[in-house]
Amino acid sequence: MDTFAIEILATTDDPLDELNAHLSLRADATFTHRVIPTFRPDAYVNAHAVDFAGNVERLIALAGEGRQGYDGYLTAMRSRRQHFINAGAVSADHGVRTPLSLKLDPMEAARLFDHVRRGECSEKERDAFEAHMLYEMARMSVEDGLVMTVHPGSLRNYHPDAFARFGPDTGHDIPLAVEFTSSLRPLLADFGTAPGFHLVLFTLDETTFSRELAPLAGFYPSVYLGSPWWFLDAPEAMLRFRAAVTETTGFSRYGGFVDDTRAFCSIPARHNVARRVEASFLARMVVEHRISIPRAREVIVELIVEAPRRAFKL
């Protein structure tokens, strides 16, 4: 952490993780950096997962406070989110197939939850439940202040033979086309202007940069643009992102570069690439006399340092 000049490092963690390692670091007076958890509830809201029912049972049993069914499920989610906040978390991360959101009546949501839990539902109903839970996760972020990050658009475990031989999440995920504007409308209609709500949107579909993401971030005070990630966190793709969104959003609606790495030693290299890409874009604007050198010096600090602090409430 010292050598790489890392101020804050966030892990992504299962909601049922007790976070003992995080709590130990927080209690260590000799450790001066911040290592914080991130609430990642995918396994408990992905109604298509084969182990969804078992995951939900464990969640309710541990944190449902004696309540059962859909009420116990929501109670457990809120309880575990608070546990993460107590351990230093600032955000909740949602890896979804699509950013579809849906607002259901509580009784309809409870009925759908029971059907999905028992496996007595159609694929369409599973999709509806996931969409409703994305809406509910936004409601919880408004209540407890956790920044909500959403990264949709990956068709997981695409190759059947690789899945059969090696299991899930072993390198055969392929990007999907994604639609944000209509999908997020129910969520943003109710929470897009809620004070203190921050929604950081990532994508693997760069056709949405200027058509959907930039206009949404340009209007809604809650929406921030997530950095290009995974298949897109390479110099040319990152430059395309900056060129596509800046005319609409300026520089203030950016969430900062997120390295999303599992290799600790790659962190400084990836952030160095991000800095160089931003500097390249700004240098072109200076040469074209679109901004001044003093302003470019201000913007590079804005993009690299201030953007993540603002978006993630650091």
**How confident is the model at residue 260, as a pLDDT?**
85
Question: Which residues have C-beta within 8 Å of that of residue 107, sequence separation ≥ 6?
Answer: none
**How confident is the model at residue 261, as a pLDDT?**
87
**How confident is the model at residue 287, as a pLDDT?**
98
Contact by Cβ (8 Å): 162, 170: yes
pTM for this predicted structure? 0.96
Rounded Cα gap, residues 86 and 218, in angstroms: 33
**How confident is the model at residue 50, as a pLDDT?**
80
| Helix/strand number for the chain, H first, E second | 14, 8
Rounded Cα gap, residues 45 and 102, in angstroms: 14
* Domains of the chain (ranges, CATH numbers): 8-228 (3.20.20.140)
Phi, psi of 30 (to 5 degrees): -85, -10
212-267 tens-digit pLDDT? 999 999 999 999 999 999 999 999 999 999 999 999 999 999 999 998 888 889 99
Buried b (16+ CB within 10 A) or exposed e, 45-80: bbbeeeebeebbebbbeebbeeeeebebbbbbbeeb
Contact by Cβ (8 Å): 94, 153: no
Residue ranges of the chain with pLDDT lower than 70? none
229-244 tens-digit pLDDT? 999 999 999 999 999 9
**How confident is the model at residue 168, as a pLDDT?**
83
The single-letter DSSP state of residue 231 is G
Selection from 92, 136, 93 nearest residue 112 by Cα: 136
